Every structure is written in structure tokens, then in C-alpha cells.
Chains A and B, each alone.
Chain A
Amino acid sequence: GQQLNQSPQSMFIQEGEDVSMNCTSSSIFNTWLWYKQEPGEGPVLLIALYKAGELTSNGRLTAQFGITRKDSFLNISASIPSDVGIYFCAGRASGTYKYIFGTGTRLKVLA
């Protein structure tokens, strides 16, 4: 099935470091969502973005809706061990109800 390209695929970082990940699409989207998923659980919504260029924060998380409307970015500042998990982006195009998910970025934090 169709998936968006997320990078990096996985990353190990030290506690306290900042993290950046991105998501790219060949199609234009009018909504981007970012989720975190832990083993055996469903994805948890972190941030929603609705307009090109929009920058939205949720605590230590900041996400941006790319100006081209074909990409989005998520930053995590001062990472902590509980940030471990898989981060997914999801995009939705105008006139559709389905979200297309990314391939995921697996984050591991070294204490």
C-alpha cells in the first residue's frame, strides 16, 4: 500500500539531545498529523497541522507543515527516555477522508 517516506528510519540519541525527523510525499496534503506508537499500543496523536508554513508545539514537540505542502517536520527537544517509540506522520489530501501514513521513525534514547 501507499506510504509516505519518513527519515531517518531509526535513530539512537543521548538523553537531553534534540531530535529532528521529516516526512515527504509526492502529493499535496491539506492536513498533517503526527503520532507516537509504543509496542502493543495504538498510535497516540501528538500534533495536528492544517496550513502550509504552520508551526505548532506540544510541550517539547514542535511540528511544521512544509511550505510546499508535500512535507512535514517534527522536532523533539531535550529528549528523555520515555520519548522512545515509533513516530508516524500521516497526511490527508483535499477531498478525501483517508490518512496516508509514513513508514515511521524509530527513536531510541540512551540514558
Chain B
Amino acid sequence: DAGVTQSPTHLIKTRGQQVTLRCSPKSGHDTVSWYQQALGQGPQFIFQYYEEEERQRGNFPDRFSGHQFPNYSSELNVNALLLGDSALYLCASSLTGNAEAFFGQGTRLTVV
């Protein structure tokens, strides 16, 4: 049973560029949440997708957007990258109605 998988594992981008991160949820899960984890801190909620729609959003600017596909996989897009966007981006999947959230290994984004 494959767990949550994210790609790529590492990424280096230049300020002002755009980036797309991908997530495949755990088998049987239909909900995907994205979190940003800065070095030395706990994860911060970006948004959650369910039934291909953004269900809830955290305190992140509109430069952060996402998408969920019919197979429940998801993308996180970040436009106009800033140095402060450098972080570990985590995807968590769950089954709606079930509180347990399972994380992928993350994508380490470095903005230079």
C-alpha cells in the first residue's frame, strides 16, 4: 500500500520564478492538505482540497494556489517566488470524515 508520495524531493528556483509541486495521496484517501514547514518550525497550513475544490485556506497570499485532480492527486503552485518561500512543503492526505492525516516526505524548495 503506497503511502503519500511527493515530487520532486528537492528543487532550486530563482526569485520571481514559478514552481509546481505534486502529491499523490495514500490509497483510498480523497482529501489533500498542503503545509509549509520553515526550518526549525512546525508545519503551517496552506490549504485543503476535497472534491477538486479548495475547502479551506490558511493565511497564505494568493501567490499560493492549488488544484486537485479527479484521481485525488494534487498540485501546489507558487508564483513570483520570494526568498522567504524557501521551506519544506508537505502534503498530507486523509479520508474525509476521518481525522487522521498522513504526510509525504516533502519537497525541499530553495529559492535563490
Contacts and interface: CB of A to CB of B under 8 A. Distances in A.
B73 interface: no
Contacts of A88: 42-43
B39 to A, nearest CB: 11
Interface in B30-62: 31, 33, 35, 41-45, 48, 55-56, 58-59
Contacts of A98: 33, 45, 48, 56, 58
A5 B45 CA distance: 17
Interface in B50-107: 55-56, 58-59, 90, 99-106
A35 B43 CA distance: 11
Interface residues of B, number: 25
B101 A99 contact: yes
Interface residues of A, number: 26
A42 B87 CA distance: 12
A104 interface: yes
Interface string A8-41: 0000000000000000000000010101000011
Contacts, number: 65
Contact of A45 (B42, B48, B56, B102): B102
A42 B56 contact: no
B55 A43 contact: no
Contacts of B104: 42
8 contacts: A1-B44, A43-B103, A45-B103, A48-B100, A88-B43, A97-B55, A98-B33, A98-B48
Interface of B: 4, 6, 31, 33, 35, 41-45, 48, 55-56, 58-59, 90, 99-106, 108
Given A40-B108, A42-B106, 18 more contacts: A1-B59, A4-B42, A33-B100, A40-B105, A42-B103, A43-B90, A43-B103, A45-B103, A48-B99, A88-B43, A90-B42, A96-B56, A98-B56, A98-B58, A99-B43, A101-B43, A104-B41, A104-B42
